[in-house]
């Protein structure tokens, strides 16, 4: 066994960016780590954001220290996992409505935060980004990038497993054994029944559900939950992440990620951490807000809309009306061995893990510094940079067009077979997240049935028909909110294929947690 299994036992609750960051940091410090996730990795907030790996420029004026931290972490992540990062670059553009003096403050803030920033000629920017407004009067280039959340989290989880840790997916925490006022064990329930995980410490990294987990620990954590909704456009409208050059707020960012582009984000306070409802008005508000940045945006096809819930810890006596700090908080729940880590961002998740790791290590009196920034994620030292054209280029190189399973994302049938055989993944939503099956314009219409055929062929006992019903019901849910024009034609065609050709009935029962993104 790996040396790490000798250390104190820590259960990390939550398999999003935060929990994965914490679990990896702990296992590198020699703890015996078990990560518990109620759905699939990153199926909550960690995949329900705009996909940015921030240079920090967004916060260059509002929080220069945090901006510098983002830049530092963004460099680390790219070094650790280049195969999950696309170096898109980012632009901050001043449009006529944006404050004239922000550009200079922005430039100074970036320099102070050690973010490489360059002012560009607006004419060059408009020429190289034909979709954006012709009214750009200042423009800055910063090293923003995008991250493929599921890809990165699966790399982290694989590293944890390789080092002797456990990652339990689809396991829900039901209670904590806190006999004697200290963490003794965590009771979880999974697909094959209940489990008792003996533990010396617990880190609650459950994101918007942290409040619920804290209650099971007998603690009260004051969170503000804000829902952010995002529109998915059918192809890349821009080549770089485009930000408005003004104080960061809602409705101000367009990000090219994968084969699509995302525009966001709304912001409204909600009570329910599980809410993913995008209100019709939010869709209209997003389109209205995007129009000045991308004129004619309403003529572009929107594939779907989805929402995530950000958990932000409300500091005591925080003045109302002021936007809550972006930074994370680690709460030490006294001498019980229980901790909650909350807030923060994708970009800083490793640093958050380090911070939580410091707290846990000091609780056990262990003086071993974090190694998460310097230890390679993969044994082979990381792959080549992520590029969304890789799949298509691969099919063209090998001339395997007739073997394509998902046409929109150019995914080869063999890639899917390999994942089913090697990793035992059969759930359509799990395969979808790993491979991006069904993410394109047809939203799973053609690949869905091919996937059902393939999985049923590989495992005749797998309920492929039922799985397909749930798959389409879920795709339909996100896609109908934006179904007008050509996308409405798509949805009607797709629905006809599923219902009339394949004879499936829509299964509108509750889906397994987090499958609707």
Partner 1 sequence: MTTTHLDRDSHEGRGFSVPLMTPAMVRQSMDNCTKCNVCQVHCPVAGVTDAFAGPKYAGPQAERFRIIDAVDETAPMLCSGCGICTSVCPNDVAITDIITLAKADQVDRAGGIGLGQRLLNRPELIGRLGSLAPWLANGVLANSLFRQIAVAVTGVSRDAPLPRFAGQRFRRWLKHLSQREGPQITYFSGCAVDHYDPDVGIAAVSVLNSLGYKVTVPPDACCSLPMLSSGDFETARPRARKMIELLTPSAGAGQTIVGTSTSCTLTLKSKYAAYLGFDDRQASEVAHAVSDICGYLLEHHADTFAKASARVPKRVLYHGPCQLRGHHIGQPALELLRLVPGITIELSQASCCGVAGTYGYDQEKRPIAVDVGRSLIEQIADSRPDLVICDSETCRWNIEQASGVPCLHPIQVLAQAMELTSGKVFQD
The sign one gets for the Cα dihedral 253, 255, 260, 266 is negative
Give rounded-to-5 percent helix, strand, coil for the chain.
40, 20, 40
- For residues 183 and 237, which CB has a smaller minimum distance to partner 1 in the complex? 237
Least CB distance to partner 1 at residue 82 (A): 16
Least CB distance to partner 1 at residue 448 (A): 12
User: The tokens 């607006």 sit on which residue?
Assistant: 122
Restricted to residues 444-463, the positions that interact with partner 1 (CB under 8 A) are: 445-446
- Is residue 336 within 8 A of residue 57, CB to CB? The reply is no
CA angle 354, 355, 358 (to 5 degrees): 85
The 358-397 contact track toward partner 1, x by CB under 8 A, reads -----------------------------xxx--xx--xx
Distance CA 434, CA 437 (A): 8
Least CB distance to partner 1 at residue 258 (A): 9
DSSP secondary structure, 64-112, as one string: HHHHHHHHHHHHHHHHH-GGGEE---EEEEE-TTS-TTHHHHHHHHHHH
Least CB distance to partner 1 at residue 407 (A): 6
Least CB distance to partner 1 at residue 284 (A): 19
- Is residue 294 within 8 A of residue 302, CB to CB? The reply is no
Out of 96, 99, 116, 130, point to the residue binding partner 1 (CB under 8 A).
130
Out of 123, 137, 493, 499, point to the residue binding partner 1 (CB under 8 A).
493
- For residues 39 and 388, which CB has a smaller minimum distance to partner 1 in the complex? 388
- Is residue 201 within 8 A of residue 339, CB to CB? The reply is yes
The 34-63 contact track toward partner 1, x by CB under 8 A, reads ------------------------------
> Token digits for 137?
């009067």
Least CB distance to partner 1 at residue 442 (A): 4
Least CB distance to partner 1 at residue 418 (A): 22
User: The tokens 């001339």 sit on which residue?
Assistant: 399
Number of chain positions touching partner 1 (CB under 8 A) = 35
- The reply to whether 402 sits near partner 1 by the rule CB under 8 A is yes
Which distant-in-sequence residues (6+ apart) come within 8 Å of 189 by Cβ? 171, 172, 174, 195
Strand, coil or helix: 128: helix
Least CB distance to partner 1 at residue 178 (A): 51
Strand, coil or helix: 459: coil
Out of 118, 134, 489, 505, point to the residue binding partner 1 (CB under 8 A).
489
Which distant-in-sequence residues (6+ apart) come within 8 Å of 307 by Cβ? 48, 227, 228, 229, 230, 266, 275, 276, 277, 278, 282
Distances (CA, A) of 478 to 1, 303, 451, 503, 516: 45, 8, 20, 21, 7
Q: Can you state the angle between helices 445-458 and 485-496, rounded to 10 degrees? A: 30
Stretch that binds partner 1, among 143-151, 178-186, 234-242, 448-456 (CB under 8 A): 234-242
- The reply to whether 399 sits near partner 1 by the rule CB under 8 A is yes
The 291-320 contact track toward partner 1, x by CB under 8 A, reads -----x--xxx-------------------
The 239-278 contact track toward partner 1, x by CB under 8 A, reads x----------------x--x-------------------
Least CB distance to partner 1 at residue 276 (A): 25
- For residues 35 and 136, which CB has a smaller minimum distance to partner 1 in the complex? 136
- The reply to whether 162 sits near partner 1 by the rule CB under 8 A is no
The alpha carbons of the chain give a radius of gyration, in whole angstroms, of: 23
- The reply to whether 507 sits near partner 1 by the rule CB under 8 A is no
Phi, psi of 285 (to 5 degrees): -65, -40
The 417-436 contact track toward partner 1, x by CB under 8 A, reads --------------------
The sign one gets for the Cα dihedral 323, 329, 334, 337 is positive
Strand, coil or helix: 160: helix
- For residues 105 and 298, which CB has a smaller minimum distance to partner 1 in the complex? 298
User: The tokens 């490793």 sit on which residue?
Assistant: 350
Least CB distance to partner 1 at residue 256 (A): 8
> Token digits for 338?
């229980």
Interface with partner 1 (CB under 8 A):
130, 234-236, 239, 256, 259, 296, 299-301, 387-389, 392-393, 396-397, 399, 401-402, 404, 407-408, 410, 440-442, 445-446, 486, 489-490, 493-494
């Amino acid at each position: 066994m790996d040396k790490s299994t000798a250390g104190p036992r820590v259960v990390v609750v939550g398999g999003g960016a935060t929990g994965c960051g914490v679990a990896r940091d702990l296992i590198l410090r020699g703890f015996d780590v078990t990560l518990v996730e109620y759905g699939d990795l990153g199926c909550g907030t960690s995949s329900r954001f705009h996909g940015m790996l921030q240079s920090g420029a967004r916060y260059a004026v509002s929080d220069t220290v945090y901006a510098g931290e983002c830049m530092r972490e963004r460099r680390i992540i790219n070094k650790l996992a280049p195969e999950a990062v696309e170096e898109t670059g980012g632009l901050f553009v001043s449009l006529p409505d944006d404050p004239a003096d922000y550009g200079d403050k922005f430039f100074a803030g970036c320099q102070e935060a050690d973010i490489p920033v360059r002012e560009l000629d607006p004419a060059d920017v408009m020429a190289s980004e034909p979709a954006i407004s012709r009214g750009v009067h200042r423009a800055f280039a910063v090293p923003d990038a995008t991250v493929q959340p599921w890809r990165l989290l699966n790399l982290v989880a694989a590293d944890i497993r390789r080092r002797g840790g456990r990652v339990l997916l689809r396991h829900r925490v039901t209670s904590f054994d806190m006999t004697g006022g200290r963490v003794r064990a965590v009771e979880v329930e999974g697909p094959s029944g209940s489990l008792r995980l003996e533990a010396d410490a617990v880190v609650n990294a459950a994101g918007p559900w942290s409040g619920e987990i804290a209650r099971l620990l007998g603690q009260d954590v004051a969170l503000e939950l804000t829902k952010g909704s995002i529109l998915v456009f059918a192809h890349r409208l821009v080549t770089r992440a485009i930000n408005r050059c003004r104080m960061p707020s809602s409705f101000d960012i367009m990000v090219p990620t994968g084969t699509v582009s995302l525009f966001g984000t709304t912001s409204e306070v909600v009570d329910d951490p599980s809410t993913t409802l995008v209100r019709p008005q939010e869709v209209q508000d997003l389109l209205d807000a995007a129009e000045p940045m991308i004129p004619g945006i309403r003529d572009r096809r929107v594939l779907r809309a989805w929402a995530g819930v950000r958990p932000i810890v409300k500091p005591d006596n925080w003045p109302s009306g002021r936007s809550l700090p972006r930074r994370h908080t680690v709460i030490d729940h006294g001498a019980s061995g229980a901790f909650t880590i909350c807030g923060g961002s994708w970009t800083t998740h490793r640093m958050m893990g380090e911070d939580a790791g410091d707290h846990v290590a000091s609780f056990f009196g262990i003086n071993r510094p974090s190694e998460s920034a310097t230890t390679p994620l993969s044994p082979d030292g990381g792959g080549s940079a992520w590029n969304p054209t890789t799949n298509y280029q691969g099919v063209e190189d090998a001339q395997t067009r007739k073997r394509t399973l998902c046409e929109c994302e150019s995914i080869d049938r063999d890639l899917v077979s390999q994942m089913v055989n090697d990793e035992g993944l059969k759930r359509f939503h799990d395969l979808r997240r790993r491979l991006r099956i069904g993410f394109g314009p047809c939203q799973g219409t053609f690949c869905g049935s091919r996937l059902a055929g393939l999985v049923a062929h590989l495992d005749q006992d797998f309920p492929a028909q039922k799985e397909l019903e749930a798959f389409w019901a879920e795709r339909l849910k996100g896609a109908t909110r934006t179904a007008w024009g050509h996308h409405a034609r798509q949805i009607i065609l797709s629905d006809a294929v599923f219902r009339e050709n394949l004879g499936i009935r829509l299964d509108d029962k509750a889906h397994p947690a987090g499958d609707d993104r």
